[in-house]
Amino acid sequence: MSLLSNTQGSPERVWSVLTALATFGGQSRAELESLLNPGSLKAGVTTLVNTANVRQVISAASSLGGVDGDRSSVSTHVGVAVIDQPSMSDWVHDVLCGIESSAKDAVVLETYAWLIARSERMGSMSWIYELTAESFADQAAAGLIGDDDDGGKKMNKEKVVAWRRWLVFLGLATAMPAPMPANPSPAARIHRELQRASAQGSMQSADEFLGLLSERMPYLDRGRLYLQACERLSQPSSPRRLSPVLSAALRELQDEGALDLQQLGDSPDVVSLSPDPTHPTQGFVQVSIAAGPAS
């Protein structure tokens, strides 16, 4: 089953599986299920949660390639890659960025790329908040190719909930108070990837900067998943104008002091941001990336 089909496999639970295996070594499936589901004791009676839920967590970890084994025993090879949740987030992000479109879990980032491309077509992100989970899933599924490995749609209302949880964990969305859906924002992941690329403290042209982002985050403007989504929507990409999603994220990082988006006169190399009359920055030709904290 795919990552999103295992709806009980939340990011935190998958992290628990991998850290348990990294700490204690290979386990029989029975031992691992017992470790993850110790149950609760009340009035002398031990109550376990649904074992199927625990198995979904293990299945989600397996879908990402983090768990090896068979019906009798399991182990992990990821080790220190998941020593803490930020490292786990980086590892999952790298896995999802590196898989082919035919892989069952490609839907996670392909749907995100579709959302960004459709927001560009709509001119804003407001449409996201006007849809129910079911309506959003139907529209997303129509923009994707093929079915999930469970025989159903690549996206449905149950998978949307799991998808949004993973986006928040990956730094691609911000959790909002219920009943609002998570707000799509790659600002945290952009900041993280700039750190991982050792780009902090540098000055880059707009094209260099966007090239770096599209390579490390292929679902963003100019990236291969974004261009694929535009093609499926029969929507021409606009390399000199950024989508509302990426524009909002860059403005957020500028307001936080992580970036300085600079526009020099009437340069023909300017990259325009999606219009926002409330913000002074409407485009840039170069980017100053703030230095990270001293080590």
Q: What is the DSSP string of 91-149?
A: HHHHHHHHS-TTSGGGHHHHHHHHHHHHHHHHTSSGGGGGS-HHHHHHHHHHTS-SB-T
CATH architecture classification, 11-83 = Orthogonal Bundle (1.10)
Q: 203-214, pLDDT tens digit by residue? A: 999 999 999 999
So where are the chain's domains? 11-83, 86-184, 188-289
Instruction: Please give the backbone phi and psi of residue 8, each rounded to the nearest 5 degrees, phi first.
Output: -85, -10
- Look at residues 24, 1, 291, 3 and name the one whose alpha carbon lies nearest to residue 161: 3
Pair 263, 270: CB distance under 8 Å: yes
Model pLDDT, residue 179: 81
Which range, of 69-78, 156-165, 204-213, 244-253, averages the lowest pLDDT?
Answer: 69-78
Overall average pLDDT of the 280-289 stretch: 96
- State the Cα–Cα distance between residues 142 and 131, nearest whole angstrom: 15
Pair 115, 244: CB distance under 8 Å: no
What's this model's pTM, rounded to 2 decimal places? 0.91
Overall average pLDDT of the 122-128 stretch: 91
- Look at residues 129, 101, 125 and name the one whose alpha carbon lies nearest to residue 246: 125
Q: 26-76, pLDDT tens digit by residue? A: 888 777 777 777 666 566 666 655 667 778 888 898 899 888 877 778 888
- Look at residues 203, 185, 184, 182 and name the one whose alpha carbon lies nearest to residue 194: 203
Q: What is the pLDDT of the chain when averaged over all its residues?
A: 88
Cis bond leading into 179, ω under 30°?
yes
Q: Which two tokens stand for residue 218?
A: 């292929």
- State the Cα–Cα distance between residues 260 and 30, nearest whole angstrom: 53
Where residue 294 falls among pLDDT bands split at 50, 70, 90? very low
Percent of the chain past pLDDT 70, that is, above it, reads 91
